[in-house]
Amino acid sequence: MRRLRKVKIVATLGPASSDYQTIRALFEAGADVFRLNMSHGTHAEQKARYDIIRQIEADTGRPIGVLADLQGPKLRVGTFASGAAELEEGQPFRFDLDEEPGDGHRVCLPHREIFEALQPGATLLVNDGKIAMKVLECGPDFANCTVTIGGTISNRKGVNVPDVVLPLAALSDKDRADLEFVCDLGADWLALSFVQRAEDVIEARELARGRSAILAKIEKPAALNKFDEILAVSDGIMVARGDLGVELPVYTVPPIQKRLVRKCRAAGKPVIVATQMLESMIESPMPTRAEVSDVAAAIYEGADAVMLSAESAAGRYPIEAVATMDNVARSVETDPTYREVIEASRRAVRETVADGIVAAARELAETTDIKAICCYTQSGKTVNLVARERPRVPIIALTPVQSVLRRLCLTWGVHCAYCEPVDRFKMAVVGAARIARAEGFATETDQILVTAGVPFNVQGTTNILRVAPCDERLIFRTDPE
Q: What is the largest CA-CA distance in the chain?
A: 85
Instruction: Please tell me the predicted confidence (pLDDT) of residue 124.
Output: 95
In the predicted model, is pLDDT for residue 477 greater than 70? Answer: no
Looking at the structure, tell me whether residues 297 and 374 fall in a common domain: no
Instruction: Please tell me the predicted confidence (pLDDT) of residue 480.
Output: 47
Cβ atoms of residues 86 and 53 within 8 Å = no
Q: Which of 45-54, 104-113, 415-424 has the lowest mean pLDDT?
A: 415-424
For residues 137 and 354, the model is more confident at 137
Distance CA 217, CA 206 (A): 17
Question: What would the mean pLDDT of 135-147 be, rounded to a whole number?
Answer: 96
Does any domain span residue 140?
yes
In the predicted model, is pLDDT for residue 65 greater than 60? Answer: yes
Instruction: Please tell me the predicted confidence (pLDDT) of residue 300.
Output: 97
CATH number for position 148: 2.40.33.10
Q: What's 132's DSSP letter?
A: E
Distance CA 2, CA 49 (A): 24
Does any domain span residue 77?
no
Does any domain span residue 444?
yes
User: Is residue 143 within a helix (H) or strand (E), and if so which, with residue range?
Assistant: strand 142-149
Instruction: Please tell me the predicted confidence (pLDDT) of residue 396.
Output: 97
Instruction: Please tell me the predicted confidence (pLDDT) of residue 33.
Output: 98
User: Is residue 430 within a helix (H) or strand (E), and if so which, with residue range?
Assistant: helix 425-438
Distance CA 291, CA 276 (A): 8
Looking at the structure, tell me whether residues 212 and 328 fall in a common domain: yes
β-pair partners for 395: 373, 414
CATH number for position 295: 3.20.20.60
Looking at the structure, tell me whether residues 180 and 269 fall in a common domain: yes
Does any domain span residue 347?
no
In the predicted model, is pLDDT for residue 163 greater than 90? Answer: no
Looking at the structure, tell me whether residues 50 and 143 fall in a common domain: no
Using one digit for the tens of pLDDT, what is the confidence trace for 190-207? Answer: 999 999 999 999 999 999
Question: What would the mean pLDDT of 411-416 be, rounded to a whole number?
Answer: 97
Q: Which of 116-130, 214-228, 305-319, 338-352 has the lowest mean pLDDT?
A: 338-352
Instruction: Tell me, yes or no, if 346 is annotated catalytic.
Output: no
3-state secondary structure of 341: helix
Does any domain span residue 235?
yes
Looking at the structure, tell me whether residues 196 and 156 fall in a common domain: no
Looking at the structure, tell me whether residues 183 and 282 fall in a common domain: yes
Q: Where is the domain boundary, 291, 309, 335?
A: 335
Distance CA 110, CA 344 (A): 50
Cβ atoms of residues 230 and 216 within 8 Å = yes
Question: What would the mean pLDDT of 275-298 be, rounded to a whole number?
Answer: 96
Ramachandran sector of residue 112 (left: φ over 0; alpha: ψ -120 to 50; beta: rest): alpha
Q: What's 172's DSSP letter?
A: -
Select from 430, 310, 308, 450 the least CA-distant residue to 370. 450
Using one digit for the tens of pLDDT, what is the confidence trace for 311-357? Answer: 999 999 999 999 999 999 999 999 999 999 999 888 877 778 888 89
Q: Cα dist. 235→217, 283, 302 in Å?
A: 11, 34, 17
Select from 219, 79, 73 the least CA-distant residue to 157. 79
Instruction: Please tell me the predicted confidence (pLDDT) of residue 426.
Output: 85
Select from 410, 367, 420 the least CA-distant residue to 391. 367
Q: Select which of 12, 123, 275, 399 is catalytic.
A: 275
Cβ atoms of residues 387 and 414 within 8 Å = yes
Looking at the structure, tell me whether residues 365 and 297 fall in a common domain: no
Does any domain span residue 443?
yes
Cβ atoms of residues 197 and 229 within 8 Å = yes
Whether the model pTM is above 0.85: yes
**ω before 455 within 30° of 0 (cis)?**
yes
Instruction: Tell me, yes or no, if 157 is annotated catalytic.
Output: no
Select from 262, 249, 192 the least CA-distant residue to 223. 192
For residues 436 and 427, the model is more confident at 436
Q: Where is the domain boundary, 306, 335, 364?
A: 335
Considering the chain, what percentage of its residues have pLDDT values greater than 90? 84
In the predicted model, is pLDDT for residue 1 greater than 80? Answer: no
Select from 177, 238, 235, 197 the least CA-distant residue to 35. 238
Q: Select which of 3, 5, 8, 35 is catalytic.
A: 35
Q: Which of 115-119, 281-285, 429-433, 455-459 has the lowest mean pLDDT?
A: 455-459
Instruction: Please tell me the predicted confidence (pLDDT) of residue 387.
Output: 96
Question: What would the mean pLDDT of 447-470 be, rounded to a whole number?
Answer: 83
CA angle 13, 18, 24 (to 5 degrees): 85
Instruction: Tell me, yes or no, if 473 is annotated catalytic.
Output: no
Instruction: Tell me, yes or no, if 217 is annotated catalytic.
Output: yes
Tell me the H-state helices in 235-317: 241-247, 253-267, 289-300, 310-313
Does any domain span residue 340?
no
Looking at the structure, tell me whether residues 52 and 128 fall in a common domain: no
Distance CA 50, CA 46 (A): 6
Q: Where is the domain boundary, 269, 302, 335?
A: 335
Q: Select which of 106, 157, 217, 437 is catalytic.
A: 217
**Is residue 255 packed enough to be buried (19+ CB in 10 Å), middle (13-18) or exposed (0-12)?**
exposed
For residue 106, what are the domain limits? 84-160
In the predicted model, is pLDDT for residue 120 greater than 90? Answer: yes
Q: Select which of 24, 47, 74, 76 is catalytic.
A: 76
Does any domain span residue 464?
yes
Number of structural domains in the chain: 3
Looking at the structure, tell me whether residues 125 and 197 fall in a common domain: no
Beta strands in 290-394 (DSSP E): 305-308, 370-376
Question: What would the mean pLDDT of 210-227 be, rounded to a whole number?
Answer: 96
Q: What is the mean pLDDT of the chain?
A: 94
Looking at the structure, tell me whether residues 357 and 379 fall in a common domain: yes
Looking at the structure, tell me whether residues 279 and 218 fall in a common domain: yes
Looking at the structure, tell me whether residues 284 and 327 fall in a common domain: yes
Give 478's pLDDT tier (boundaries 50, 70, 90).
low
